[in-house]
C-alpha cells in the first residue's frame, strides 16, 4: 500500500523525543540464526522516496537495509539514533537544522556515508532544482526520463522540505539546512540520506571511482549544473526499481547503509538479507539472516507458520485468519491490536471519467454531485458487519480523512465535518441526486484494487452490488500490480489502505495538496492548500487540530472520496522467538528487528 502521505512529519510540540545513546551496547551476530517473515506484497523499488516507489512493500525492506537519524518505537515515541549521527536545531529564526553523520557510518560497499549523500537526498526531496512539468507513462504511472529539464520525482515535493535554501557545509563537514518558512516537521523532513550518491553518479555519469562520483554530485548541486542534474535525476527516479535480483553489473542499486544487505531476490517469491559485520550505524541485530517471503493469501501464511516455513506473519486479519492462528495453540504467540492504517475509496478528478468536471463541459458542480451520489450509495455498515466486526467487535466507521479514530481531535472533527450524510447505502437518495443533476445512468466506474487480496476481493463484491442499486456500474479493475497503477487515467476509483509512519499532523499533506507527491486523484482545493501552509508553521496542538478539522470538512464537502475502516491487526509468530513487537506505525513488526532472537540452527 502507498505510504507517502503518511510518512513525513512530527509535531515537535506534540511528541516526546528519546535518544539512543551513541556507542550503545550492541549484540553480536549469532551464527546460523535465520528468521523468515511473511509479507503480502513484494518489493519493487529500492528508492521509496519516489512517487511510484513510495509503498509499504518497499519501506519494510529498506528499514532493514537503510539507516537514519531517528525511528519510532512501539509506543510511537521518536527515538534519536546517535549511532548514525545527529540533527540539531541551531537557529529558530531563520529555522536552521544542522546534520552531522558519524565518521564510522559506511555503505555496504565500504564507501563512507557523508554530507554529499545528504546533499543529494535534500536536492531530490525538496525539488529545489525542479523545472517545467514532468511526463508520466499513462499505463504505468511511472515518470518518463527527461533530456531537457530537471525533475526529481519526490513523493514529498511541495511539502515543507521544499521551503528550504541551498544547504551550506561547515568546516567540520556538517550540512546546515535553512528554512524560508518554519516547519513543525523539521525532525522528519529529512531523516536519512536515501540512496547512495556515489552509485547515482556512477550510473548516471559513468564515473567508476566512488570519491570522484561523489565529487561530481557535490559540484552539480552546489553549482546548479542543470545538464548533470538532469542525468542524476533520471537515475534517482528510475534506476532503483526492480522486482528481482538485478544482473551483476546493476547490483550497486542494492547498496545500503543499514544493518542488512540483500543477498538474494527471487521475483514474487522472497528476498533474503544478510547481517553486515561492519555495521555501526545503529542498534545491531543478532539474527544473521532474514528472509521475507511473499505470501499474498493470508490463510496460506498461517499454514506456512504451522509448517515451520516462516517464523512471523502479520496478515490482513479476518475472523478465519484469527481462528486458524488460534488453532495452532502454544506453538505460536498471537498479538491483536488496531493498526494505524485505514481503508478508503478515492475518486479520480482528472481522467475524463465520471467524477471529472471535464466530462460535463467543465461543470464542477455536476461532477461533485456525481461524487456525492457515489459515496452516498456506499454502505459502510455492511462492509463492517460482514468483514471487520467478526474480528473486531467494536469496529466502527472511520469518519475522518485526516484523523484516526481515538486520536485527539477526531470526535470534534467528525461532529462537524459533514460526513454523516454519506456511507449509509442510500441508493434511493443517490439516484435522486443524479436525476436532479441530469446525469444519465448507468454510469460506468472502473475500480482498481488488489486482486490478490481476499478481503479486498470481498469488498469489491459488496461495493459492486451496493452501487448498482444507485445507477453505478462498477467495472472490476482488480490488479495484482495495483500500487503502480494509482493515478493512471484508466481507473475512475480505487480503494486501498494508507499506512501511517509518523504522528505528524502534516501526515496526509502530500495526498490532499494540489501538488502533493501522493495526490493520485488530481484533487485541487486552494483552501486546503492554504490551510496546510498555515498548519506547517503552527506549533500549538489545539490550533493544529482546528486547522485539520477545517481540512477534513473541505474534503467531505468536495466529496473527495470515502473512508471506510481502521485495520484490525493480528501478528502471529513462533513461540520460540523472543523480542518480537509490533508498532501501529510502519514498519510495524520490523521496527525492532535488532531485538529479535531465535535459537541457532544446529
Interior/surface letters 178-197, b for 16+ CB within 10 angstroms, e for the rest:
bbeebbbbbbbbbbbbbbbb
Q: Is the pLDDT of residue 7 over 60?
A: no
Residues in Cβ contact with 389 at an 8 Å cutoff, skipping those fewer than 6 apart: 395
Residue 395 pLDDT class (50, 70, 90 cuts):
confident
pLDDT tens readout for residues 378-387: 999 999 999 9
Return the C-alpha cell found at 478.
482488480
Residue 498 pLDDT class (50, 70, 90 cuts):
confident
Residue 251's φ and ψ, nearest 5 degrees, are -75, 0
CATH of domain 341-504+534-566: 3.10.105.10
Instruction: Determine the Cα angle at 498 with ends 73 and 477, to 5°.
Output: 150
Strand (E) or helix (H) holding 496: strand 493-499
Task: Tell me the C-alpha to C-alpha distance, in Å, between residue 394 and each of 77, 390, 405, 409.
Answer: 26, 10, 12, 20
pLDDT tens readout for residues 238-290: 999 999 999 999 999 999 999 999 999 999 999 999 999 999 999 999 999 99
pLDDT tens readout for residues 126-172: 999 999 999 988 888 889 999 999 999 998 888 889 999 999 999 88
Question: pLDDT over 90 for what percent of the chain?
Answer: 76
Give the pLDDT confidence score for residue 601 in this predicted structure: 64
Looking at domain 66-242, which of 3.40.50.300, 3.40.50.620, 3.90.76.10, 3.20.20.80 is its CATH number? 3.90.76.10
Q: Which of 298-302, 403-407, 448-452 has the lowest mean pLDDT?
A: 403-407
Over residues 557-564, mean pLDDT? 97
Task: Tell me the C-alpha to C-alpha distance, in Å, between residue 587 and each of 70, 92, 207.
Answer: 13, 31, 35
Q: The whole model's pTM is what? A: 0.79
Q: Is the pLDDT of residue 90 over 60?
A: yes
Q: Which of 123-127, 156-160, 200-204, 298-302 has the lowest mean pLDDT?
A: 156-160
Domain boundaries, the chain: 66-242, 341-504+534-566
Please write down the long-range contacts of 85-90, taking CB distance under 8 Å and 24 or more positions apart. Answer: 87/187, 89/186, 90/176
Residues in Cβ contact with 307 at an 8 Å cutoff, skipping those fewer than 6 apart: none
Average pLDDT, the chain: 91
Give the gyration radius of the chain's Cα atoms: 24
Q: Are 512 and 531 in contact (CB under 8 A)?
A: no
Q: Is the pLDDT of residue 39 over 90?
A: yes
d(CA 210, CA 519): 36
Amino acid at each position: 500500500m502507498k505510504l507517502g502521505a503518511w510518512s513525513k512529519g512530527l509535531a515537535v510540540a506534540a511528541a516526546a523525543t528519546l535518544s539512543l545513546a551513541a556507542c550503545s551496547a550492541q549484540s553480536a551476530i549469532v551464527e546460523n540464526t535465520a528468521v523468515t517473515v511473511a509479507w503480502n506484497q513484494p518489493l519493487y523499488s529500492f528508492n521509496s522516496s519516489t512517487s511510484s516507489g513510495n509503498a509499504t512493500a518497499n519501506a519494510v525492506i529498506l528499514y532493514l537495509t537503510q539507516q537514519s537519524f531517528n525511528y519510532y518505537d512501539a509506543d510511537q515515541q521518536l527515538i534519536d539514533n546517535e549511532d548514525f549521527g545527529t540533527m540539531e536545531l541551531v537557529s529558530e529564526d531563520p529555522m536552521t537544522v544542522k546534520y552531522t553523520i558519524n565518521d564510522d557510518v559506511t555503505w555496504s560497499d565500504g564507501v563512507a556515508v557523508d554530507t554529499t549523500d545528504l546533499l543529494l537526498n535534500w536536492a531530490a526531496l525538496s525539488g529545489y532544482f525542479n523545472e517545467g512539468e514532468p511526463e508520466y507513462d499513462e499505463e504505468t504511472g511511472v515518470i518518463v526520463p527527461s533530456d531537457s529539464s530537471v525533475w526529481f520525482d519526490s513523493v514529498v515535493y511541495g511539502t515543507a522540505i521544499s521551503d528550504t535554501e541551498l544547504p551550506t557545509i561547515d568546516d567540520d563537514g556538517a550540512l546546515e539546512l535553512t528554512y524560508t518558512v518554519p516547519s513543525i516537521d523539521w525532525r522528519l523532513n529529512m531523516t536519512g540520506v536515501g540512496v547512495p550518491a556515489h552509485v547515482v553518479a556512477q550510473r548516471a555519469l559513468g564515473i567508476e571511482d566512488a570519491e570522484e562520483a561523489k565529487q561530481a554530485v557535490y559540484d552539480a548541486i552546489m553549482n546548479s549544473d542543470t545538464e548533470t542534474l538532469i542525468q542524476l535525476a533520471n537515475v534517482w527516479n528510475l534506476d532503483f526499481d526492480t522486482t528481482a535480483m538485478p544482473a551483476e553489473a546493476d547490483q550497486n542499486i542494492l547498496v545500503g547503509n543499514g544493518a542488512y544487505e540483500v543477498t538474494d531476490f527471487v521475483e514474487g517469491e522472497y528476498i533474503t538479507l544478510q547481517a553486515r559485520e561492519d555495521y555501526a550505524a545503529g542498534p545491531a541485530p543478532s539474527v544473521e539472516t532474514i528472509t521475507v517471503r511473499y505470501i499474498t493469501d493470508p490463510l496460506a501464511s498461517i499454514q506456512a507458520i504451522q509448517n515451520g516455513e516462516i517464523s512471523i506473519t502479520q496478515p490482513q486479519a479476518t475472523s478465519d485468519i484469527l481462528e486458524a492462528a488460534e488453532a495452532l495453540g502454544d506453538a505460536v504467540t498471537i498479538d491483536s491490536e488496531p493498526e494505524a492504517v485505514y481503508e478508503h475509496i478515492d475518486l479520480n478528478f482528472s481522467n475524463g471519467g465520471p467524477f471529472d468536471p471535464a466530462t460535463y463541459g467543465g461543470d464542477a458542480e455536476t461532477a461533485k454531485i456525481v461524487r456525492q451520489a457515489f459515496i452516498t450509495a456506499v454502505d459502510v455498515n455492511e462492509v463492517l458487519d460482514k468483514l471487520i466486526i467478526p474480528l473486531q467487535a467494536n469496529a466502527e466507521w472511520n469518519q475522518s480523512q485526516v484523523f484516526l479514530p481515538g486520536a485527539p481531535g477526531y470526535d470534534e472533527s467528525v461532529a462537524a465535518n459533514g460526513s454523516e450524510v454519506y456511507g449509509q447505502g442510500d441508493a434511493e437518495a443517490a439516484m435522486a441526486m443524479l436525476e436532479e443533476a441530469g446525469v444519465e445512468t448507468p454510469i460506468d466506474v472502473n475500480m482498481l484494487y488488489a486482486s490478490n487480496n481476499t478481503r479486498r476481493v470481498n469488498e469489491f463484491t459488496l461495493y459492486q452490488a451496493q452501487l448498482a442499486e444507485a445507477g453505478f456500474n462498477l467495472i472490476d479493475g482488480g490488479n495484482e500490480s495495483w500500487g503502480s497503477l494509482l493515478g493512471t487515467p484508466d481507473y475512475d476509483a480505487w480503494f486501498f489502505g494508507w499506512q501511517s509512519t509518523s504522528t505528524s499532523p502534516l501526515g496526509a499533506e502530500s495526498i490532499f495538496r494540489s501538488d502533493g507527491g501522493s495526490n493520485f486523484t488530481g484533487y485541487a482545493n486552494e483552501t486546503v492548500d492554504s490551510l496546510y501552509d498555515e498548519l506547517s508553521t503552527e506549533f500549538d496542538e489545539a490550533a493544529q487540530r482546528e486547522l485539520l478539522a477545517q481540512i477534513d470538512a473541505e474534503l467531505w464537502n468536495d466529496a473527495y472520496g470515502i473512508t471506510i475502516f481502521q485495520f484490525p491487526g493480528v501478528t502471529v509468530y513462533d513461540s520460540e522467538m523472543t523480542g518480537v513487537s509490533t508498532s501501529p506505525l510502519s514498519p510495524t513488526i520490523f521496527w525492532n528487528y535488532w531485538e529479535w532472537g531465535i535459537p541457532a540452527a544446529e
